[in-house]
Structure formats: structure tokens, C-alpha cells
Amino acid sequence: MIGRLNHVAIVVPDLAAATALYRDALGGKVSAPVDLPEHGVTTVFVELPNTKIELLHPLGENSPIAGFLAKNTSGGMHHVCYEVEDILAARDHLKASGARVLGDGEPKIGAHGKPVLFLHPKDFCGTLVELEQV
């Protein structure tokens, strides 16, 4: 059901510093920051030959990642994103197998302009999983 690894998301306390680190020290090709108010984050994507790194920073007081950053003040890995062909079929299959879909269970439009869902980390070895329809 899952396809390729789309990205690994890392929450960072200083988006400009993290962007510079990935661009200057690691030589990565980084995007401009994009605010996603509906998700409460600002994102920067680092393009790699085989996947992407998503740098996440809280946007606004009610950001869903603010608590994560408060507990992990240096930042850290937040989630992995896998591609799926049909997000509704994937959701239904996962729910039938006992996995919990976060939120209301309906896909939202993610940072790439495609439907996404998040799966409870307790159901996936302690890792928050994002599914993105390709």
C-alpha cells in the first residue's frame, strides 16, 4: 500500500539557522519558507536525490508543533511521510486493521498541495506517520 518515502519532517527552533545549516554546511537545495496557517507551521523543504527533508517551525500561538518544541527545545524528528496512490482507500484499510487516524479522519491539503492524513504514533512503533496521495 505505501509507496516511496516522500519526506522526513524535523521541527526546528530557528528556521533561518536550520535552513542555513542544510544549505551551507550540507550543500542542500532548500526552498523558500512557506507559511501554512491552516496547519500552524512554516515549512522549508530540502531536496535530496531520493527524498526530501521538511524543516518545520511553529506558526502562531496555536501551532500543533509548539508542544513538541517545548519538550524538545533543540528540535527533532517529528514525522515521516509515505506516498499512497489512494488516500481514502489507504485510510479505510488502516482503520479496518485497527490504526487510528488523527483529527476528523478526513484528508486535508498538505504542504505539497495534495491530500494528507496523519496516523497515531502509538500504532506505528512510536512514529507519527503522514500519508500523502500522489
pLDDT band at 10 (very low <50, low <70, confident <90, very high): very high
The average pLDDT across 69-88 equals 97
Percent of the chain with pLDDT over 90: 96
Residue 61: pLDDT band with limits 50, 70, 90: confident
For 10, the domain range is 5-133
d(CA 27, CA 102): 35
Residue 105 CA from chain centroid, whole number: 16
Q: Is 98 exposed, middle or buried (0-12, 13-18, 19+ CB in 10 A)?
A: exposed
Q: Residue 27 maps to which CATH number?
A: 3.10.180.10
Q: Half-sphere exposure of 97 toward its Cβ, with a 13 Å CA cutoff?
A: 10
Contact 30, 23 (CB under 8 A): yes
Number of structural domains (the chain) is 1
Strand, coil or helix: what is 111? coil
CA dist 54 and 45 (Å) reads: 5
Per-residue pLDDT band for 105 (boundaries 50, 70, 90) equals very high
Strand partners, 94: none
Which residue is catalytic, options 54, 83, 130, 132? 130
Q: Quote the pLDDT of residue 2.
A: 93
pTM: 0.94
pLDDT of residue 4 exceeding 90, the answer is yes
Give the pLDDT of residue 126: 97
Three-state SS at 32: coil
Q: How far apart are CA 104 and CA 99, in angstroms?
A: 14
Active site residue 38: no
Q: Is the pLDDT of residue 121 over 90?
A: yes
Mean pLDDT of 93-111: 96
Task: Report how far residue 113's alpha carbon sits from residue 69's, in angstroms, rounded to the nearest whole number.
Answer: 25
